A and B are shown apart, each in its own frame.
Chain A
């Protein structure tokens, strides 16, 4: 049983690599497809972070303890810092008054950043 699990480990690593690359592809496609900064934030920050975490899990499956500890460290660090950097970028875009380009966007701050009505 243990040997069967050990022989399945490289396939698990391959599946995690393919998953991570696919998720990062979705994030980059969202970066060039979405119309404004606020919707780009949805696609890019979360998807790229999840891709890096999946690649870290792939290297933690196959590697020795030195690689496992560093992979866990990278994952935890990105888990802490990705919301902060997304918040800073969204706040910068809001303070500089970048417009919301989607059709039915709703700006509840009263500054009228939406493009359509009012």
Chain B
């Protein structure tokens, strides 16, 4: 029963990943696109956390941590560059 829950969670998170990738492509406003890119990377990190939970291996948690860190840096740099045309 627990495996069924994890399989359904994997499938549904993949659907959410596809929907947020379509949102990155299809949204008109650039700030909303940056926001959707942040959301897409966080969903990828959540998939890695779910996979680490399903296989009981802690290496994927490291990957999820680094991915959320990179998502934060990318959002910061893209937002500052879009907002005021400079990063620092």
Residue positions of A touching B, CB distance < 8 A: 10, 13-14, 17-18, 20-21, 24-25, 27-28, 31-32, 36-37, 40-41, 44-45, 48-49, 51-52, 55-56, 58-59, 62-64, 66-67, 70-71, 73-74, 77-78, 81, 84-85, 88-96, 98
Which residues in A have their C-beta under 8 angstroms from that of B49?
A: 52, 55-56, 59, 71, 74
CB of B12, distance to nearest CB on chain A (Å): 6
With both beta carbons as reference points, the residue of chain B lying nearest to A18 in the complex is identified as B5
User: How far does the alpha carbon of A71 sit from the alpha carbon of B65 in the complex, in Å?
Assistant: 9
CB of A114, distance to nearest CB on chain B (Å): 16
Contact B79 A89 (CB under 8 A): yes
Number of interface residues of B (CB under 8 A): 45
Which residues in A have their C-beta under 8 angstroms from that of B53?
A: 13, 17, 55, 58-59, 62-63, 67
By secondary structure, the A interface counts as: helix
Residue positions of B touching A, CB distance < 8 A: 1-2, 5-6, 9, 12-13, 16, 19-20, 23, 29-32, 34-36, 38-39, 42-43, 45-46, 49-50, 52-53, 56, 58, 61-62, 64-65, 68-69, 71-72, 75-76, 79-80, 82-84
User: How far does the alpha carbon of A85 sit from the alpha carbon of B38 in the complex, in Å?
Assistant: 9
15 A-B contacts, Cβ less than 8 Å apart?
A21-B12, A31-B23, A32-B23, A44-B36, A49-B42, A63-B52, A66-B58, A74-B61, A74-B65, A77-B65, A85-B76, A88-B76, A89-B34, A93-B83, A98-B29
A10-B2, A52-B45, A59-B52 given as contacts; is B16 within 8 A of A24 (CB)? Answer: yes
Partner of A88, one of B23, B52, B83: B83
Which residues in B have their C-beta under 8 angstroms from that of A13?
A: 2, 53
CB of A23, distance to nearest CB on chain B (Å): 10
Which residues in A have their C-beta under 8 angstroms from that of B84?
A: 92, 95
With both beta carbons as reference points, the residue of chain B lying nearest to A29 in the complex is identified as B19
Contact B20 A93 (CB under 8 A): no
